[in-house]
Amino acid sequence: MSYIFSKFVKKYPEHYIAQTISRIFWPPPTVSVLAYGEHDDVLTLDLSGSHRLPGGFLEKGEDFREAARREVKEETGFDVEIRDLLDIRHNESGGPNIFFEADVTDGERNSSWEGEVKFVPKDEVKEKVWKLDHSHIHEYLFPEEEE
């Protein structure tokens, strides 16, 4: 077996195992963004009828607000201005999900493998099927009903 091949075979499984174990014991943080369009419509990604908010993992050296702006841009094509921190919850991996509110400021709709970009009118939000991680957004859109 060649030296290069043996280095690859040895390093790759060890690297994979280390990454997997670290995600179990130290789940990575994520961000989600509740972004509003010009008519207070909610910016969503529709993947086979299930809606979710733009968001994802932080990159090395990135703060939460930078990650939120980047994820919205990558997944939807829109730029946003981050307003408020709405909540901190657990993500699917058990790590923290930092949940922001934002306004769409610029850009063009650009659907990706993450889903078709849609603006959902506020009064239609409750009718949509939401990915479990984002099923709580009505708490922020309709706070008077939560009291």
Judge whether 82 and 47 are in contact, CB under 8 Å: no
Q: Is residue 14 part of a domain?
A: no
Work out whether the CA dihedral 136, 130, 74, 107 comes out positive or negative: negative
Mean pLDDT over 68-72 rounds to 96
- pLDDT band for 21, please (50, 70, 90 cuts): low
- pLDDT band for 96, please (50, 70, 90 cuts): confident
Q: Is residue 16 part of a domain?
A: no
- Structural domain including 89 reads 28-146
Mean pLDDT over 62-70 rounds to 95
Q: Is residue 128 part of a domain?
A: yes
Q: Is residue 13 part of a domain?
A: no
Give per-residue pLDDT as tens, 23-57.
566 678 889 999 999 888 999 999 888 888 999 99
pLDDT at position 50: 86
pLDDT at position 132: 62
> What total number of domains does the chain contain?
1
Q: Is residue 9 part of a domain?
A: no
Question: Where does the chain have alpha helices with state H?
Answer: 3-25, 64-76, 138-141, 143-146
Q: Is residue 4 part of a domain?
A: no
Give per-residue pLDDT as tens, 71-85.
999 999 999 999 999
Q: Is residue 21 part of a domain?
A: no
How far is the CA of 107 from the CAs of 25, 77, 78, 115, 118, in angstroms? 38, 6, 4, 17, 14
Q: Which of 63, 72, 62, 141 is nearest to 104 (CA)?
A: 72
